[in-house]
Amino acid sequence: MSEDYIIEMLHITKEFPGIKANDDITLQLRRGEIHALLGENGAGKSTLMSVLFGLYQAEKGIIKKDGQEVQIKDPNDANRLGIGMVHQHFKLVECFTVLDNIILGVEDTKHGFLEKEAARKKVMALSEKYGLRVDPDAYVSDISVGMQQRVEILKMLYRDNEILIFDEPTAVLTPQEIDELMEIMRGFKKEGKSILFITHKLAEIMAVADRCTVLRKGRYMGTKDIAGTTKEELSRMMVGRDVQFSFEKKECKPGETLLSVKDLVVPSKVHKNNAVKGVSFDVHAGEIVCVAGIEGNGQSELVFGITGLEKASAGSIRLCGKDITNASIRVRSRDGMAHIPEDRHKYGLVLDYSLEQNLVLQRYWQPEFEEHGVIKAEAVRKYSEGLIDKYDIRSGQGPLTPARAMSGGNQQKAIIAREIDRNPSILVAVQPTRGLDVGAIEFIHHSLVGERDAGKGVLLISLELDEVMNLSDRILVMYEGEIVGEFRPKDTDVQELGLYMSGAKRNTAGKEGIAV
Amino acid sequence: MNKKKSLAENAKFVSILASLISILVGLLLGFILLLILKPSDALGGMQAMLGTGFSSLDKFGKVMYQAAPLMLCGLSVGFAFKTGLFNIGASGQYTMGAFFALIGAIVLQLPWWACLLLSLLGGAIWGVFPGLFKALFNVNEVITSIMFNWIAMFLVNLLIANIPVMLASAWGASNSDRTAALASANPGAIIPKGGLDAVFGNSSWVNISVFITIVVAVIMWFVLEKTTFGYELKACGLNKDASAYAGINAKRNIVTSMIIAGALSGLGGGTYYLAGTIQYVLEKSILGMGFNGIPVALLASSNPIGTIFSALFISYIQVGGAAMQPSFSSESTNIIISVIIYLAAFALLIRGSIQKLLSRKKAKEAES
Ligand SMILES: Nc1ncnc2c1ncn2[C@@H]1O[C@H](COP(=O)(O)OP(=O)(O)O)[C@@H](O)[C@H]1O
Ligand SMILES: [Mg+2]
């Protein structure tokens, strides 16, 4: 053996009902490298990593550590071999403190009592060493997503793991936090730790990874040295065709006002102040209006207010000329408002319902699907098969797949199919591409522009500045619950937007807006 | 997709197999307990428990008679459960249903079907309170319904004791600690036997209520699986936020679901006390039937059709348990019954292992 591999996964095959999630996949991790794992949603990345971490048992294939074959039956085995994992969806106990979460499962005890002082010292030392800022005594339910992730990372370090798996760690982070994480990963590499890094974002791979293994639909596509490859090549390997990174849109011809928000005030769920403090703007037919901003500046609450998930405490909202400030969610939806929610698991899907049941979640009550209170099962089946086909929603068992068993990207596609197919006048899309691969992002971007070109109004809330610049016809920057600037993408750039987003600049004239 | 499903993927098959296995394990453990308690009578006791239900038509009639209210309480708990509510108040609703039915029968002298309708109403009224408290003030339904169990019991006792005509003593009997026997108070209120007594060897127990109940179970299945109403209820139970997002009125659904659950338990009380064989006795303990609805629902994973079978099973071992006396005290038979029911609820656990076993076998076959 010439190569020094710390972990080798050889010819791994893992099946789920109706689908081969991993089909003869080989992945070799060199000691001390950052190895990226790239693939579309549902390509089988999380499954492969779960096999390595002992959450799933592969039907075929072997795993070697330092050249020796090993059996990993559960996460404890993985831990003993020095393998740690930060999951795509964090696994923390919300009502425990940060410190308790970190030591959970490996607590020291003395006469049956917890011995936390040594643990605290070790955690703080690690936190210091790698720049992982956490508050050890805060409750997990109170800390930001970014800090939760740092807690997950500290959990691995606390257990002295030397092989660190990151499953889509950047999907939930702000741009600043992503930069920080990249720095932290480089630090790990310097310490001699080996890293498996799952992401969809090619730029991140180009920035930190040494090598990259690509999966497509459960199959191994190859491994590349980052130094000798390009974004384009990697994305072609991943999707199986060329991907456009930006595209030409037709000129925007705004029509009548579809959504009109005036002096809207929405209370916050977490603190006593209002999260949205008197926001006004219009969305016209044939226009994509984008609300940009750093997470937590009132965008979520703005959407809650507009869609009716939260009651506005002042101000008014008009949809196609009709006042809907106090209308129920059902009325808003019936009158032409569609909503792609920020949290697809919490709001977007009933995870224990099948795909077809989820596809009619917003219309099961319409005459097309209901007669005398009975659901027309055949109509539902036919309709959902149509959507699955049209939007290329991939799943193990078609319309009958439980939504829970679908990959994140396909779950998102299902939501988008459902919302767009309702033929709404106004589409409110909140971070519709969060955590998705380039193929899916391209698809969603085309869908949104398609809606705009069909004369619909689109209100897009996004944290990704590239997306904002690429898609929008008008940009509103939100900072601390207010709109602090309004731009056209061709008159501004990412740097300027960044200044407004961070509150360094604000534009009072923006209140009147630019003429359309 | 026209690929043939493997056994492991056939969820129905696996869950039925799991239920059967767990019942078997429960029986085995029950037997071991009997051996510990009284080795000399263990075999006979087990025979009594397993054989009695089928030993005579009369006993089987009793199994069916008790299965009806059990089934209804199970349906009640299961229905609420599908909506995300834990209806631990089935007992109180059952008591109220029984009371309303008996008022209809004895005081108002109504025919049996009208009395059954009244029992529905009584249970529904008792279901509405926990529902309203939950929907309007977000009070946990478990707390409210436990309180309402006690309120129902004492209220009904108080009312019956103070309505002289309700008591057996008003109808020619000597005792005033129980309601009148329907045979003397109003024979028209006794649920008809529909010729079943002839089939079941003149069983005094059996009547058409078990069939009424099976029809109710099928209706509940239909409501949950086939209607928009059921779709909404289940969506609320599975994901509150997503159903709010879809414009489903969760508050209304919580209240309706509790009304329906209450009505089901209430009907259970009606079927039990309108059989003409049992009189309501003024006692200071909550009726157990409603609580037994919980394991009935659990064993059936809240599936209405499954509830039919789980209620029959539990009724069967209860009748068998009663026949184990006097060689075993009623306390020890109750322990055995509880152990069996308890283990039966392990079905979920066993389901997972079966699935693993089958898929591993499949993988092996694929390799060879
Ligand atoms: N627990 C599961 N049960 C059934 N199917 C699953 C399960 N987990 C994943 N899958 C399926 O396996 C495939 C691969 O999923 P996953 O590994 O999560 O993809 P990725 O992480 O690359 O997005 C998907 O089609 C998904 O639907
Ligand atoms: Mg994944």
Residue B163 tokens read as 């309505």
Are A253 and A220 within one domain?
A: no
Best probe residue, ligand 1, of A19, A56, A216 (max atoms within 8 Å of C-beta): A19
Residue A343 in domain? no
Residue count (chain A): 516
Out of A422, A441, A472, a domain closes at A422
| Residue A228 forms part of a structural domain | yes
How many beta carbons lie within 10 A of that of residue A94, not counting itself? 11
B358 touches chain A (CB under 8 A): no
- Mind listing the pLDDT tens digit for each residue in A271-319? 777 889 999 999 999 999 999 987 778 899 999 999 999 999 999 999 9
Please provide the average confidence, as pLDDT, over all residues in chain B.
87
* CA atoms of A226 and A239, how far apart (whole Å): 18
- Tell me the two tokens of residue A132: 């992982």
Instruction: Single out the residue of A73, A82, A74, A63 nearest to residue A8, CA to CA.
Output: A63
Residues A251 and A368 in one domain: no
| Minimum-distance CB partner of B242 among A60, A347, A364 | A347
**A54 and A96 belong to one structural domain:** yes
Distance A15 CA to ligand 1 centre (A): 9
**A510 domain residue, yes or no:** yes
Residue A22: CATH number of its domain: 3.40.50.300
DSSP result, A339-384: EE-S-IIIII--TTSBHHHHHTTTTTTSTTTEETTEE-HHHHHHHH
Kindly report, residue by residue over A178-229, the tens digit of the pLDDT: 888 999 999 999 999 999 999 878 888 999 999 999 999 899 999 999 999 9
Beta carbons of B246 and A341 less than 8 Å apart: no
Residues by chain with Cβ below 5 Å of ion ligand 2:
A 46, 88
Looking at ligand 1, which atom is closest to the CA of residue A39?
22
Intra-chain end-to-end CA distance of chain A, in Å: 67
Domain that holds residue A181: 2-239
The structural domain count of chain A equals 3
Q: Which residue of B has its CA nearest to A364?
A: B228
CA distance A172 to chain B (A): 20
**Buried/exposed B281-298: b ≥16 CB within 10 Å, e otherwise:** eeeeebbebbbbbbbbbb
Lowest-confidence segment of A432-441, A505-514, B100-109 by average pLDDT: A505-514
Within this chain, do residues A233 and A364 fall inside the same structural domain, yes or no?
Answer: no
Residue A357 contacts B where some CB pair is shorter than 8 Å: yes
- Residues A251 and A231 occupy one common structural domain: no
- Are residues A507 and A365 located together in one domain of the fold? no
ipTM of the complex: 0.81
Higher pLDDT, A111 or B235: B235
Would you say residue A231 has pLDDT above 60? Answer: yes
What is the C-alpha to C-alpha distance for residues B148 and B146, in angstroms, rounded to an integer? 5
Q: How far is the CA of A56 from the centre of ligand 1 (A)?
A: 11
What does the pLDDT look like over B142-165, one tens digit per residue?
A: 999 999 999 999 999 999 999 989
Pocket lining for ligand 1, CB < 6 angstroms:
A 16, 19, 21, 39, 41-47, 395-396, 405-408
Q: Are residues A229 and A132 in the same domain?
A: yes
**Confidence class for position A380, pLDDT limits 50, 70, 90:** very high
Per-residue model confidence (pLDDT) at position B320? 86
Mean pLDDT over residues B343-352, rounded? 72
User: Among A131-145, A318-332, A369-383, A473-487, whose mean pLDDT is lowest?
Assistant: A131-145
Residues within 8 A of A (CB atoms), B 7-26 only: 8-9
Query: Distance (Å, rounded) from C-alpha A40 to C-alpha A345?
Result: 19
And the tokens for A18? 């109706």
Cα separation, B8 vs B355, in Å, equals: 5
A14-23, A131-140, A227-236, B319-328, range with the lowest pLDDT: B319-328
For residue range B9-57, what is the model confidence (pLDDT) as tens digits? Answer: 566 777 778 778 877 888 888 888 888 888 888 888 888 888 888 888 8
Q: Which residue in A362, A373, A374 is closest to B246 by CB distance?
A: A362
Q: Which of A16, A355, A437 most suits a substitution to test ligand 1, by most atoms within 8 Å of the C-beta?
A: A16
Cα B37 to middle of ligand 2, angstroms: 55
- Average pLDDT (A259-276) is 86
* Count of helix runs (H) and strand runs (E) in chain A: 16, 24
Say yes or no to pLDDT of A488 above 80: yes
Q: Which of A239, A262, A285 is the last residue of a domain?
A: A239
Query: Looking at CA atoms only, how far is residue B12 from chain A in angstroms?
Result: 15
Q: Is the same domain home to A326 and A373?
A: no
DSSP bridge pairs for A164: A84, A195
Check pLDDT > 50 for residue A511: no
Question: Within an 8 Å CB–CB cutoff, is residue B238 touching chain A?
Answer: yes
Residue of A349, A455, A360 whose CA lies nearest to A405: A349
- Asked if A132 and A183 sit in the same domain, the reply is yes
Give SS3 for B154: helix
Does residue A362 sit at the B interface (CB-CB below 8 Å)?
A: yes
Report which bound ligand comes closest to the CA of A440: 1
pLDDT at B1 over 50: no
Structure token pair of residue B112:
């049996």
Quick one: A27 and A63 in the same domain? yes
3-state secondary structure (DSSP) of residue A91: coil
8 Å CB contact of A309 and B244 = yes
- State whether A358 and A407 are in the same domain: yes
Q: Are A260 and A282 in contact (CB under 8 A)?
A: yes
**Residue A428 counted as domain residue:** yes
| Measured distance CA(A257)–CA(A205) in Å, rounded | 42
Q: What is the CATH number of domain B70-186+196-340?
A: 1.10.3470
Q: Are A479 and A415 found together in one domain?
A: no
Please identify, among A422, A448, A469, the residue that sits at the C-terminal boundary of a domain.
Answer: A422
Per residue in A131-171, pLDDT (tens digit) is: 888 888 989 887 877 788 899 999 999 999 999 999 988 87
